[in-house]
Structures are given as C-alpha cells and as structure tokens.
C-alpha cells in the first residue's frame, strides 16, 4: 500500500458520526480517483504552498473587477516563479508532461479559476497551437511562453457577430508582397474579435484567426497568425490597434477578456503559422498537405485538449460543491419528533436532491481520468510518428465523444452547484459559503470552447453517419453497439426486482436500447424532413428537439458509463462496494430522465419499469447515507482551497459561521454613510 501520509488527516468533530459508518478508507478513495500518486502529491504540494503565500489569501468580500484582474495577474506571475513543473518534465513523455500540466491547472483552478484560465489560454493553448500549426520559425514564441514564461498570449477567434460559425469570420489578413507583410484589418465593429481572454489588459501577443487574402484577391479561408499586441516592457498597445477590455461579467472577472479591431495593422509574413499552408514572398499561396496524419493528430489536440481541460475542471467544481452541501447536510438538523431534530442528510428528499450529484462527481472523475489517459496515448502515438490505425476515424470519434461529454459535464455541474446552494438554505446564499462563486465561475463553461448546444449536435452528426454507413467506424468502441441494432431494439424491460435494475448488465443494455431507439428516431425524422423537400440544413434544424439533442445527452452518458466502468473495475477491492453503489446510482438517476423514451419506444409497458428504476434510486440513496460523508472527504480539496464556511472538514458548522460573520469587515460598525440616511426630522419613538 502506498504511503498516503502526505494527505493530512481530517480533524475529529461532529462529522465523525457519519465518517465512522463508512465502509472504506477515504484516502484510498482519494488516490483511486486521482489515479496517480505523484499527481496527487503534486496537487497537495501546490495547495499547501499557496496556502502559505499571502498573495493567495482569500478576500472576505468580492474585490472590484479591476482589483480581481490585478490579483489574478500577480498570482499567475507567482505561480510561474514557483514553477511547479517537476524537474524531469521537459524530458518526460508527451502523455506524462501533458497530464502533469493538466494537474497543475486543476489544482490552481479549484483555488482561483481565473488564474488557471489565464494560464491555459495564455501559455498552453497558445504554445500548443504554435507546435501544431506553426513551424520552426515560431519556436521562439513557444520558448517565450511555455519555457521562459515571459510572454502571455491570447487566442482571437470569435467575432462580435460570429461565434459558433467560424467560416463567416470577417477579419482579413491581406498579403502585401511589396513589404512582405500581412495587413490585418477589421471592416467594422461587428467583425471585432471579442471575448479574447488576456487581451483586455495583459497579453503581449495574440494568435489571430483571419481570412487570408493573396494579392490576386483570392480568399483562402481562415488562417492563424501570431500578432504583437503590447510592448512587454510597458504594456502599451501598439498603434493601429483598438484594444478594449470587455468590462464586468457574471463570473471569472479575474480574466481580462478583450476585444480588438485592426486598422490596416501590419505584421511580418513569417507570423503566419505555416505548417499546412504558406504564402511565398511574392504572394503565392501554397498548401502543403505533406503529412496528413500529423496534421490530423494536431487537429485532434487543438480541438479536444481545451474541452478535456474544461471537463477536468468541472469535476473539481462539482467535487467542491457536493462536499460543501453534504457536510452541511450532515451537521445541520431540522424538524424531527419529540423535539429531537434530525440531520438533513437523514431525509430521503435531501438524499435524492444531493446524492445523485455526489455519484456524478465520482463517476465523472473516473471517466475523465480514464478518457484523458486514452486520449493522450493516441495523441502521443500520432505525434511520435508511429502509425495509429484508423487515425482519421479515431479523430472523428474523439471529436464526437468530447462534443457530447463536455456539454453533459458542464451542464450537470451547473445544476449541481445550484442544487447544493438550495440544499444549504439561506446560509448557502452567503458569499462565504462559496457556492455562489463556484457556480458563477463555472457558468461560462457551458458556452465557451464550443457552445454546448452546437457541440452536442456534432456528436449526433457522427452517430447518424455511423448509423447510415455500411460499416461502423468506431475505433474507441463507443458506437459498436450499432452492429447489433436489430437485436438491441428487440429487447424489452423484464426486470422484476430493484436488484436486477441495479446491475451493470441492465444499465448497459438499457442505454444501448435507448441509443438505438434515439438514433433511429432522429434518422427517421431527418429523412422525413428531407422527403418533405427541406434542405439538409433545414432538416437537421427541424430534428433537434426531443431527437438530436436527447441523443447527444444519452450518448454522453453512455460514454461516461463505459469509461467509468472500465476504470472502476481496476480499482482496489476495498473500494468496490462503495464505487459500485455510486456507479449504479449515477446510472439510474440519469436513466430516470429518459423513462419517457423507454415507454414511448415500447421498451417498457405498465408501471414496473418507472417504479423499479425509481425505487432502486431511493434504495441506493439510503444505502449510501453512511458513505457519502467519507466520499466527499475523498473528493474535497483542502479546507483552504474549498474555502467554505459551511463545508469545513471539522464539521463545526456554527462556530465557523460565527467566526465568519463576526470577522466580516465592518460587521459591527455603524454604516459610514449613516448621516445621509437618518430620518429628518428624527422620529421620537
């Protein structure tokens, strides 16, 4: 057994009542969920280092937007100085290097999401894009951002009037052979690049996507350019640019999102990222599809790495939210009989409101860890020049998987944060409960890096292509069930006990039935719309509601279940009972949302199916009552990182609350503005 003494023991207190009932060692579960002891150690090292650093002390009040940006930038700088990269990182394999960087990102995200986003965009996304889209001549930018950390970059794609549909971007880069420069131009405000993280206040360079136009007037489509924005020594923007900060947002206000308009702004020819295409000095466009497999691999990474990062961060936000709500539920009593009050966690309704999300926190984590490993393995193989079988099919499948799972995870976490806040009642509404900030900082994930609704349509596209094709191309196996469509659709619900419903066999086969049914229904609807004379575009639009959209969600759940199950089965024996219960709960709690389709499609008849699924959910909640406190101990970061007056690991709810309320700045002071508001004339009462 590994030595886990680097994970600090939890203080004894009111939560012991439930901790003593759990069937497992929470530190073992923590390790199992992390999947790698070195990465777990790294997280604790980061958390403990930053806890001792005054720059990372929490403010009891929300700082002004400007001050949040300043603090975020200072924290980012400090993290760069501290350099949490292990010594052997540069020489590690791609997989290990990336997983380590992702872990650092996760650890920092749970403390200050704005810092990790700044880092992810300004260093990792930028430098990865350079590696995959650029050539040797761009290595200096890579060195400066990723290795020396002297540059902070940004990524300019979205325009004011165009987000999801990149084809129609209107910013132009016109080549001028006379000066051997590209001339960047923004025709009007609608074409201003916007929402560019780091652009508003801090970045020195941006990676710009613009329509490349050669001197003959031909538009060659979107290409990427490295564009200088600010003088690194003064942070003054260069003439020819209109760069503004987007102002206040709902969350992540530490990030300086910006907009930019180019006024005939010139950059050297060499700043075009020219791996796939270049413009010669005299202005001839040359496409260079010399090594398609490398390009595909690069595309894979660019598209998916950011979204996988979002899923990892979502797992952390979810873990924090449920940890707060469960610890509160175990210490807060309410109602009861004979004036003996009962902890909230004892109520079925409260269990049902929260435990599904606890199970999601565990299952999502198992899925993401497993999937990231598989994903990085494929990219590594592809990058190293080794032949990856069916690389193009693999890239398509991974894109479909990520496009369905990123929406599932980010939406689930958004709902979870809200339910957790409500389950903590009024006290959950306090800023110092931290549920509000967790929620509002998480919120943009459902929109950025691909709007969830748009993304999940793409997953549906892939599935429908597989359905219509003569052979199923699913190297990762997520659509292999399509080879058995006829058999699967012949199945009907036949369980008679909740025990049967809780089995992996029932869960897996029911999900396969659901997928086949929804694919068939979506396909039929789409074909019917085509037959009515609609174009493909129109027919697809008409097939979204109740069909395509539902399909995307069910497919994501199917993937999560598949990858989590594979991971779960490899975990140590002592954890199997609790993991199995959490797994079954997550699956059935998710399936509960699709019961209508089971009935509508004829899989279920009569009352048994809905009843048994729901009874099983309730039984599992009841079974997990003694486990969840230890489960959230395994999920939660340190108290400093969790930063919630309601969720401290000592369980001393009211003492912690008293300290927070009494020490809030100005809590007991007369309002500084009292003279402005006293009644005139003063009342005599």
Q: Which residues are catalytic?
A: 449
Q: Give how many residues touch its own copies by CB under 8 A.
A: 134
Q: Which of residues 614-653 bind its own copies (CB under 8 A)?
A: 614, 618
Q: Which of 16, 53, 88, 190 binds its own copies (CB under 8 A)?
A: 190
**61 near its own copies, judged by CB under 8 A:** yes
Q: Which of 28, 45, 170, 249 binds its own copies (CB under 8 A)?
A: 249
Which residues neighbour 461 within 8 Å (Cβ) at sequence distance 6 or greater? 400
**Which span sits near its own copies by CB under 8 A: 42-50, 148-156, 210-218, 630-638?**
148-156
Which residues neighbour 646 within 8 Å (Cβ) at sequence distance 6 or greater? 324, 327, 328, 424, 427, 428, 433, 435, 653, 656, 657
**670 near its own copies, judged by CB under 8 A:** yes
Q: Which of 23, 284, 492, 535 binds its own copies (CB under 8 A)?
A: 535
Both structure tokens of 544: 């979204």
Q: How many alpha carbons fall within 13 Å on the CB side of residue 109?
A: 27
**187 near its own copies, judged by CB under 8 A:** no
Contact letters (x/-) for its own copies, 159-178, by CB under 8 A?
-xxxxxx--x----------
Q: Which of residues 100-129 bind its own copies (CB under 8 A)?
A: none
Q: Which of 82, 139, 147, 349 binds its own copies (CB under 8 A)?
A: 349
**49 near its own copies, judged by CB under 8 A:** no
The closest of 450, 164, 169, 447 to 303, measured between CA atoms, is 450
CB-wise, 224 or 616, nearer to its own copies?
Answer: 616
Q: Which of 440, 461, 508, 576 binds its own copies (CB under 8 A)?
A: 440
Which residues neighbour 153 within 8 Å (Cβ) at sequence distance 6 or greater? 121, 122, 123, 126, 127, 141, 145, 198, 203, 204, 205, 206, 207
**Which span sits near its own copies by CB under 8 A: 186-194, 281-289, 380-388, 393-401?**
186-194
Q: Which of residues 65-94 bind its own copies (CB under 8 A)?
A: 65-66, 69-70, 73-74, 77
Question: How many residues in total does the chain contain?
Answer: 685
Q: How far is the CB of 361 from its own copies (least distance, A)?
A: 20
**445-467: burial string, b at 16+ Cβ within 10 Å, e else:** bbebbbebeebbbbbbbbbbebb
The closest of 259, 269, 187 to 223, measured between CA atoms, is 269
CB-wise, 145 or 394, nearer to its own copies?
Answer: 145
**386 near its own copies, judged by CB under 8 A:** no
Which residues neighbour 272 within 8 Å (Cβ) at sequence distance 6 or greater? 173, 182, 212, 223, 224, 225, 278, 279
Q: Which of residues 260-319 bind its own copies (CB under 8 A)?
A: none
Which residues neighbour 664 within 8 Å (Cβ) at sequence distance 6 or greater? 60, 61, 432
Q: Which of 12, 20, 23, 62 binds its own copies (CB under 8 A)?
A: 62
Q: Which of 8, 11, 187, 247 binds its own copies (CB under 8 A)?
A: 247
**Phi then psi dihedrals of residue 207, to 5 deg:** -95, 110
Helical ranges in 592-668 per DSSP H: 595-600, 608-624, 628-635, 639-642, 653-663
CB-wise, 274 or 656, nearer to its own copies?
Answer: 656
Q: In what order do the strands lie in the sheet with 193-196?
A: 193-196, 258-262, 241-245
**Which span sits near its own copies by CB under 8 A: 368-376, 491-499, 589-597, 627-635?**
589-597
**By three-state DSSP, how is residue 342 classified?**
strand
**Which span sits near its own copies by CB under 8 A: 31-39, 171-179, 294-302, 349-357?**
349-357
């Amino acid at each position: 057994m590994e030595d886990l003494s680097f994970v600090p023991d939890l203080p004894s207190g009111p939560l012991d009542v439930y901790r003593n009932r759990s069937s497992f060692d929470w530190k073992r579960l923590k390790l199992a969920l992390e999947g790698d002891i070195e990465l777990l150690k790294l997280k604790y090292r980061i958390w403990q280092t930053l806890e001792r650093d005054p720059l990372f002390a929490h403010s009891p009040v929300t700082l002004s937007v400007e001050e949040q940006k300043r603090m975020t930038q200072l924290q980012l700088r400090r993290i760069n100085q501290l350099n949490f990269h292990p010594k052997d990182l540069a020489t590690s394999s791609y997989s290990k290097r990336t997983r380590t960087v992702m872990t650092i990102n996760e650890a920092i995200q749970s403390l200050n999401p704005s810092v990790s986003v700044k880092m992810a965009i300004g260093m990792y996304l930028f430098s990865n894009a350079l590696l995959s889209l650029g050539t040797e001549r761009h290595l200096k930018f890579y060195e400066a951002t990723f290795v020396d950390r002297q540059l902070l970059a940004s990524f300019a794609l979205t325009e004011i009037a165009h987000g999801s549909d990149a084809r129609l971007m209107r910013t132009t880069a016109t080549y001028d052979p006379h000066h051997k420069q590209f001339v960047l131009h923004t025709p009007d405000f609608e074409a201003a690049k916007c929402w560019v993280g780091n652009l508003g206040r801090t970045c020195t360079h941006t990676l710009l996507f613009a329509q490349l136009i050669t001197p003959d007037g031909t538009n060659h489509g979107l290409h990427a350019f490295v564009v200088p924005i600010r003088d690194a020594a003064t942070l003054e923007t260069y003439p020819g640019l209109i760069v503004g900060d987007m102002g206040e947002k709902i969350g992540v206000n530490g990030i300086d999102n910006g907009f930019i308009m180019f006024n005939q702004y010139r950059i050297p020819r060499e700043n075009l990222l020219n791996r796939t295409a270049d413009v010669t000095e005299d202005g001839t466009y040359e496409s260079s599809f010399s090594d398609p497999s490398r390009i595909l691999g690069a595309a894979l990474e660019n598209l998916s790495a950011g979204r996988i990062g979002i899923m990892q961060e979502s797992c952390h936000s979810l873990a924090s939210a449920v940890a707060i709500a469960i610890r509160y539920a175990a210490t807060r009593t309410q109602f009861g009989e004979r004036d003996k009050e009962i902890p909230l966690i004892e109520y079925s309704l409260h269990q049902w409101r929260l435990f599904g999300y606890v199970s999601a926190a565990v299952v999502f984590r198992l899925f993401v860890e497993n999937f990231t490993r598989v994903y990085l393995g494929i990219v590594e193989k592809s990058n190293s020049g080794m032949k990856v079988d069916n690389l193009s099919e693999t890239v398509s499948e991974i894109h479909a998987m990520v496009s369905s799972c990123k929406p599932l995870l980010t939406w689930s976490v958004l709902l979870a944060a809200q339910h957790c806040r409500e389950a903590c009642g009024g006290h959950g509404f306090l800023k110092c409960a931290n549920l509000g900030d967790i929620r509002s900082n998480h919120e943009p994930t459902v929109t950025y890096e691909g709007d969830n609704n748009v993304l999940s349509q793409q997953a549906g596209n892939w599935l429908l292509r597989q359905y219509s094709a003569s052979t199923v191309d699913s190297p990762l196996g997520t659509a292999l069930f399509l080879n058995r469509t006829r058999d699967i659709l012949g199945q009907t619900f036949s369980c008679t006990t909740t025990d049967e419903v809780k089995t992996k066999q029932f869960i897996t086969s029911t999900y396969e039935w659901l997928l086949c049914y929804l694919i068939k229904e979506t396909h039929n609807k789409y074909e019917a719309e085509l037959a009515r004379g609609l174009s493909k575009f129109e027919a697809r639009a008409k097939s979204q509601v109740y069909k395509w959209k539902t399909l995307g969600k069910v497919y994501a759940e199917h993937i999560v279940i598949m990858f989590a199950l594979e991971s779960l089965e490899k975990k140590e024996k002592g954890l199997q009972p609790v993991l199995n219960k959490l797994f079954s709960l997550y699956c059935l709690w998710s399936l509960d949302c699709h019961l209508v389709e089971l009935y509508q499609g004829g899989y279920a008849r009569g009352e048994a199916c809905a009843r048994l699924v729901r009874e099983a959910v309730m039984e599992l909640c009841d079974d997990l009552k003694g486990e969840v406190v230890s489960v959230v101990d395994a999920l939660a970061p340190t108290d400093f990182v969790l930063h919630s007056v309601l969720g401290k690991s000592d369980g001393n709810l009211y003492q912690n609350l008293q300290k927070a309320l009494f020490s809030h700045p100005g809590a007991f002071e007369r309002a500084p503005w009292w003279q402005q508001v006293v009644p005139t004339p003063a009342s005599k009462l």
